[in-house]
Structure 1
Amino acid sequence: MTKTPPSSASDSGSRGGLFRRFILPQIVIAVTAGTLGLLWAAAQQRSQNHERMAKVAEANAVFLENQKLPRSSQLADNLSEVTHSKVGFFLSGEDLVIGNDWSTEERAVAALAKEREPKVARIGRHHALVRPIADGRAAIVVVESVGPLITFSKSSSVVPLIGMTLLAIIAAFLIARSVVRPLQKLATNVFASPSESEMQLPVSLTGRHDEIGILSRTLIQERHALLEEQELRRSSEKMALLGRLATSLAHEIKNPAAAIIMHAQSLEKHGKPHEGKLIREEGEHITSLVNQWLFVAKPQAPRTSNTDLVTLLQSLKARLAPVLEFHRSQLVFELPDSLTIHCDSQRIEQVFRNLIDNAIKAMPNGGTITIQLHQLDDGKARFTITDQGAGFSPEALKHFGETFYSEREGGMGLGLALATGVIKAHGGTLSATNRNEGGACISGTLNTSPNSF
């Protein structure tokens, strides 16, 4: 069963949600900062316009005071042309002397400024400032038509502000994408990984040294732990099933098998030793198979004693001689004179019986099975069993020792599982490889002393 991504409807509705949540606040901040900057620039521009108008009024007032020129419309036009502002005069009383091109709004804003304190007024785009002349008989008025609140002149600070705002938005977009894209990639790879296999994430995610890298590596570890838990659960379910099966069948099988063995022994004693021995061995094999079921389903601590492994193997070879001959197989030993180990002899014999039986079945046309045994320096005994068969498939090596896994037709997947369980119960190890020259190689270790458990 594989993980399926969210449905297209929900996916389309949520796609880019993190990206929007990440970038929108940054855009709002950038736009707000830019707007405040523009407003500040506009205020500065307005202040500068006011200061310039004040300077124009001051300069014209000083000029008129020094020159004693008549306050005429011609003089107003001349001053307007020189200062690039509308310049007029308020004479004593309410008379306004101006040029010929003043609009109604300009007249109105000038009159409004004269009545105010400070003498500044604004109507629409027109600003007016009134400055009394020192003789006290007149006042000069300056009117300017201000353009848009924000201008884009080369000398203005508006262009840099807008540019900085755009750069901030672009930077926010790039930062948001640099965070969101790895997360999208991570989500895609997680959903693409089958639930029954290890998660594979690209190095661009797992090799990062930030929080995304930590998250990627953590997901891989969690997936690995989950698969291990699932495997343990499946194994427990299999053991429970085998336990129920073995318990229910053990009594029904052992009693008839015991009767067969008893009659086979009687045949051996009364003139038919060959037939009796063959029947007895097959009956013992049936009993051994039931015991394997019971051991795998309900493992118990081994009943250990000092056992000469060399003697055990030689005795086993003698009992298996008819089977080896029938399958045109040879069992070759490379053993020391003796090697004592601390073990449950019956279970260890069953391990080697199962491994030899597997080797025989792996060579349908016959061949040689070699068992090597030698003492290690760390207090363990090491053994290897090799055959001349086809070897293990990659999948079989992956599931080596797994209960109920067998690629052989009719196989139950109990032999190697039993061998692995018994060896582990004795504090040893068991592993499998394929030989370069062909055939399989089973390697294992066993403790030679009780203190090694």
Structure 2
Amino acid sequence: MSKTPPNPAIDPRSRGGLFRRFIVPQVLIATAAGALALLWAASQQRQQAHERLAEVAEANALFLTNLKLPRSWQLADSLSQVTNSKVAFFLPDEGLVVGHGWTTEERAVAALARELEPTLARIGEHHALMRAIPDGRGSIVVVEPVGPLFDFSRSSSLVPLLGMTLLAVAAAFLIARSVVRPLQTLAEHGFSAPAEKGHELPARLTARHDEIGILARTLEQQRSELLDEQARRRNSEKMALLGQLATSLAHEIKNPAAAIIMHARNLEAQQDRGEGRLIREEGEHITALVNQWLFVAKPKAPRSSETDLVQLLRSLKSRLAPLLDFHRCRLELQLPESLIISCDTQRLEQVFRNLIDNAIKAMPEGGTVTLEMEQTDESSVVFHVLDEGPGFSAQALAHFGETFYSEREGGMGLGLALASGVVRAQGGTLTARNLKDGGACVTGTLNTRPI
């Protein structure tokens, strides 16, 4: 496959623009969702810390009710070590009783907790909560440092949230890539020279069952239609050129050929019948070639007459004898006794001449050409022309009967095109296939009645 040419309509600076427009919002949304999830997790952590602080304060308040010890700084120190929090007392007579190591900020937040009781108080990096002791002998205050906003050690949900955020970003990247890359491929193939084969869209695009697949199949169909239109235009140009060439040469060739044929007939009638007949037949062959060009370039309505195909083919075999001998070939006719149809005799003879000539040229080392014919019913005849050559190539079978297509060096691609056209005009078909044991077979059908 040839390399797709670059599309000049695609500005290199615009590459990735759609990808960025697609991926950036997705990443922002995923990031925002992750951030909101983390903030929610942080608020849950703070709520849990608040609830823990309240549980510690209430548990210690109940414990002090049952404990008949004086509420001194030593007891405050002991409770602080047990609860792993700073514990202090507010006594009616003594005020705030704290243990060792209290900072000014911790004392201040404890005093604020007394004013805000029962709500949470916070100053700086510490928060505090106060609860009244049920025995009525003062209150207990618990002070703890405020934990970090995101404490991964205290919440197992944060790590999955971060993982989900990263997974969402990766998914957005893959989705954007799966959409943008096919569109980029479509844009690059959109400029591929439509007259050249090998620039079809990849099957991974045309086989998709989504909107991109629909777009790819639509573009491929339009490209195929454009290829067909270009082929028709090229064929029309060739036909016009062939018509001009055939018209200009017809007069220049037919007049000398007519003189040659006339003198050949005189020679055939007076002196040497064999030499005269050979010259006449070759002159008629030259005229037939010119008529073949004219028929392909400017087809006219056929002139039908009653013709015995068996007699026509036997006569053609006799005239082709020198050509068959030169190429070391034999022509075998497998025909019924008689087969009368209404046809354009001259054109139909040219069809069989072309098919036999192609079969001979397919066997450069010589061989046998077999022509079989039978009447299948009252209105149709079928014939087969078989050779012992290498057979048609896959490309030749695909373009069988196409004007100007020829794989033979020096061939113009007119012989089979003329044969197909004449057979169609006769209401029939012409097809080709390769034989299993080697060789090729051209099969045609003809309508026996006037068209």
Give the TM-score normalised by structure 2.
0.78
- Rounded to whole Å, the distance in 2 between the matches of 1:227 and 1:139 is 94
- Rounded to whole Å, the distance in 2 between the matches of 1:324 and 1:272 is 22
Give the deviation of 1:286 after TM superposition: 2.2
Instruction: Indicate the residue corresponding to 2:333 in structure 1.
Output: 333
Q: How many percent of aligned residue pairs carry the same amino acid? A: 69
Instruction: Indicate the residue corresponding to 1:419 in structure 2.
Output: 419
1:255 aligns with 2:255: yes
Deviations 1:349-396 (A, max 9, x none): 111122223334445665543211012359531111234456545554
User: Could you say if the C-alpha distance between residues 117 and 449 of structure 1 is closer, same or farther in structure 2, counting changes exceeding 3 Å?
Assistant: farther
Give the deviation of 1:100 after TM superposition: 2.0
1:400 aligns with 2:400: yes
The one-letter amino acid of 2:357's match is D
SS in 2 for 1:239: helix
Give the deviation of 1:414 after TM superposition: 2.0
Asked whether the equivalents of residues 3 and 194 of structure 1 are also in contact (C-alpha less than 8 Å), the reply is: no
SS in 2 for 1:338: coil
Instruction: Indicate the residue corresponding to 2:41 in structure 1.
Output: 41
Asked whether the equivalents of residues 195 and 230 of structure 2 are also in contact (C-alpha less than 8 Å), the reply is: no
The one-letter amino acid of 2:247's match is T
Q: Within 5 Å, which residues of 2 pair with 1:433-448?
A: 433-435=433-435, 439-448=439-448
Deviates most, 216-225 or 250-259 = 216-225
User: Could you say if the C-alpha distance between residues 115 and 314 of structure 1 is closer, same or farther in structure 2, counting changes exceeding 3 Å?
Assistant: same
Instruction: Indicate the residue corresponding to 1:196 in structure 2.
Output: 197
- Rounded to whole Å, the distance in 2 between the matches of 1:270 and 1:399 is 48
SS in 2 for 1:376: strand
The one-letter amino acid of 1:57's match is A
Q: Within 5 Å, which residues of 2 pair with 1:45-194?
A: 45-61=45-61, 72-91=72-91, 95-116=95-116, 119-131=119-131, 139-153=139-153, 156-169=156-169
- Rounded to whole Å, the distance in 1 between the matches of 2:436 and 2:68 is 120
Give the deviation of 1:43 after TM superposition: 0.9
Asked whether the equivalents of residues 328 and 366 of structure 2 are also in contact (C-alpha less than 8 Å), the reply is: yes
The one-letter amino acid of 1:243's match is G
Q: Within 5 Å, which residues of 2 pair with 1:269-418?
A: 271=271, 274-321=274-321, 323-324=323-324, 329-363=329-363, 367-376=367-376, 379-389=379-389, 391-392=391-392, 396-418=396-418
Give the deviation of 1:260 after TM superposition: 3.6
Give the TM-score normalised by structure 1.
0.78
Give the deviation of 1:420 after TM superposition: 2.0
User: Could you say if the C-alpha distance between residues 331 and 106 of structure 1 is closer, same or farther in structure 2, counting changes exceeding 3 Å?
Assistant: same
Q: CA RMSD in A?
A: 4.4
- Rounded to whole Å, the distance in 2 between the matches of 1:141 and 1:210 is 66
User: Could you say if the C-alpha distance between residues 201 and 363 of structure 1 is closer, same or farther in structure 2, counting changes exceeding 3 Å?
Assistant: same
Deviations 1:258-288 (A, max 9, x none): 3443444455555565554444333322221
Give the deviation of 1:335 after TM superposition: 0.9
Asked whether the equivalents of residues 341 and 448 of structure 1 are also in contact (C-alpha less than 8 Å), the reply is: yes
Give the deviation of 1:140 after TM superposition: 3.8
User: Could you say if the C-alpha distance between residues 333 and 172 of structure 1 is closer, same or farther in structure 2, counting changes exceeding 3 Å?
Assistant: same
The one-letter amino acid of 1:340's match is I
User: Could you say if the C-alpha distance between residues 83 and 347 of structure 1 is closer, same or farther in structure 2, counting changes exceeding 3 Å?
Assistant: same
Q: How many residues align?
A: 449
Asked whether the equivalents of residues 195 and 227 of structure 2 are also in contact (C-alpha less than 8 Å), the reply is: no
Stretches of structure 2 that go unaligned for 5 or more consecutive residues are none
User: Could you say if the C-alpha distance between residues 142 and 395 of structure 1 is closer, same or farther in structure 2, counting changes exceeding 3 Å?
Assistant: closer
